[in-house]
Amino acid sequence: MGITFEEYDVIVVGAGHAGCEAALAAARMGAKTAVFTINMDSIANMPCNPNIGGTAKGHLVREIDALGGEMGRCADKTLIQSRTLNTTKGPAVYSLRAQIDRRSYQREMKHTLELQENLHLRQEEITDLLTENNKIVGVKTHLGIIYPCKAVILTTGTFLKGRIIIGDVSYSSGPDGLFPADRLSESLKGLGIELLRFKTGTPARINRRSIDFSVMTEQPGDNPIVPFSFEHETIDREQVSCYLTYTTEKTHKIIRENLHRSPMYSGTIEGIGPRYCPSFEDKVVRFADKERHQVFVEPMGLDTEEVYLQGFSTSMPVDVQIEMVRSLPGLENAQIMRYAYAIEYDCINPLILKPSLEFKKIDGLVSAGQINGSSGYEEAAAQGLIAGINAVLKLHNKEPLILDRSQAYIGVLIDDLVTKGTKEPYRMMTSRAEYRLHLRQDNADARLTPIGYKLGLISEERYQKFLKKQQAIEKEIERIRKKNITPSIEVNNFLERCGSAKIKSGVKLSDLLKRPEITYESLREIDPDRPELPASVTEEVAISIKYEGYILKQMQQIEQFKKMEKSLIPEDIDYNKISGLRLEARQKLSEQRPVSLGQASRISGVSPADISVLVIYLNAITRRSNENDE
What are the distances in angstroms from CA 214 to CA 217, 324, 329, 425, 562? 8, 20, 10, 36, 54
Sequence-distant (≥ 6) Cβ neighbours of residue 497 within 8 angstroms: none
Distance CA 543, CA 549 (A): 11
Nearer to other proteins, 322 or 618 (CB): 618
Q: Does 293 bind other proteins (CB under 8 A)?
A: yes
**41-70 residues near other proteins, rule: CB under 8 A:** 48-49, 55-56
Q: Among the candidate windows 89-97, 124-132, 383-391, 446-454, which touches other proteins by CB under 8 A?
A: 89-97
Distance CA 425, CA 375 (A): 5
Distance CA 450, CA 435 (A): 20
Backbone angles phi, psi at 249, to 5 degrees: -60, -35
Closest approach of Cβ 219 to other proteins, in Å? 9
- The pairing of strands 336-338 and 205-207 is antiparallel
Is residue 508 within a helix (H) or strand (E), and if so which, with residue range? strand 507-508
**255-284 residues near other proteins, rule: CB under 8 A:** 274-278, 283
Q: Which of 124, 231, 434, 525 binds other proteins (CB under 8 A)?
A: 434
Distance CA 601, CA 565 (A): 10
Nearer to other proteins, 83 or 122 (CB): 83
Backbone angles phi, psi at 337, to 5 degrees: -95, -40
User: What mask, x for binding other proteins by CB under 8 A, covers residues 112 to 131?
Assistant: --------------------
Q: Does 615 bind other proteins (CB under 8 A)?
A: yes
Q: Which of 133, 214, 560, 628 binds other proteins (CB under 8 A)?
A: 560
What are the distances in angstroms from CA 591 to CA 355, 380, 535, 575, 603? 14, 25, 49, 10, 11
Q: Does 613 bind other proteins (CB under 8 A)?
A: yes
Nearer to other proteins, 296 or 341 (CB): 296
Q: Which of 68, 167, 174, 203 binds other proteins (CB under 8 A)?
A: 203
Closest approach of Cβ 588 to other proteins, in Å? 15
Distance CA 307, CA 204 (A): 9
Nearer to other proteins, 127 or 375 (CB): 375
Q: Does 251 bind other proteins (CB under 8 A)?
A: no
Q: Which of 33, 42, 81, 95 binds other proteins (CB under 8 A)?
A: 95
Nearer to other proteins, 286 or 398 (CB): 286
Closest approach of Cβ 125 to other proteins, in Å? 29
Distance CA 404, CA 451 (A): 13
Residue 121's CB: how many other CB atoms inside 10 A?
A: 18
Nearer to other proteins, 62 or 122 (CB): 62
Q: Does 628 bind other proteins (CB under 8 A)?
A: no
Nearer to other proteins, 277 or 472 (CB): 277
Q: 8 - beta bridge partners?
A: 149
Sequence-distant (≥ 6) Cβ neighbours of residue 412 within 8 angstroms: 405, 428, 432, 433, 434, 439
Q: Half-sphere exposure of 225 toward its Cβ, with a 13 Å CA cutoff?
A: 25
Q: Both ends of the chain: CA-CA distance in Å?
A: 55
Nearer to other proteins, 90 or 400 (CB): 90
Distance CA 385, CA 69 (A): 7
Distance CA 507, CA 503 (A): 8
Distance CA 160, CA 156 (A): 6
Longest dimension (CA), the chain: 88
Q: Among the candidate windows 15-23, 105-113, 169-177, 553-561, which touches other proteins by CB under 8 A?
A: 553-561
**302-331 residues near other proteins, rule: CB under 8 A:** 310-311, 313
Q: Which of 550, 558, 573, 587 binds other proteins (CB under 8 A)?
A: 550
Nearer to other proteins, 49 or 106 (CB): 49
Q: Does 556 bind other proteins (CB under 8 A)?
A: no
User: What mask, x for binding other proteins by CB under 8 A, covers residues 437 to 456?
Assistant: x-------------------
Q: 3-state DSSP call for residue 79? A: strand
Closest approach of Cβ 291 to other proteins, in Å? 11
**66-85 residues near other proteins, rule: CB under 8 A:** 85
Nearer to other proteins, 147 or 377 (CB): 377
Q: Among the candidate windows 206-214, 257-265, 429-437, 444-452, which touches other proteins by CB under 8 A?
A: 429-437
Residues 263 and 315: beta-carbon distance below 8 Å: yes
Q: Does 90 bind other proteins (CB under 8 A)?
A: yes
Nearer to other proteins, 242 or 336 (CB): 242
Q: Does 563 bind other proteins (CB under 8 A)?
A: yes
Nearest to 208 by CA among 307, 118, 285: 307
Q: Which of 460, 579, 583, 630 binds other proteins (CB under 8 A)?
A: 579
DSSP 193: -
Q: Does 567 bind other proteins (CB under 8 A)?
A: yes
Q: Where are the beta strands (DSSP E) in 222-270?
A: 242-246
Q: Which of 58, 72, 91, 167 binds other proteins (CB under 8 A)?
A: 91
Enumerate binding residues for other proteins (CB under 8 A): 48-49, 55-56, 85-86, 88-93, 95, 203, 274-278, 283, 286-287, 290, 293-294, 296, 310-311, 313, 420, 429-432, 434, 436-437, 516-517, 547, 550, 553-554, 560, 563-564, 567, 579-580, 597, 601, 607-609, 611-613, 615-617, 619-620, 623
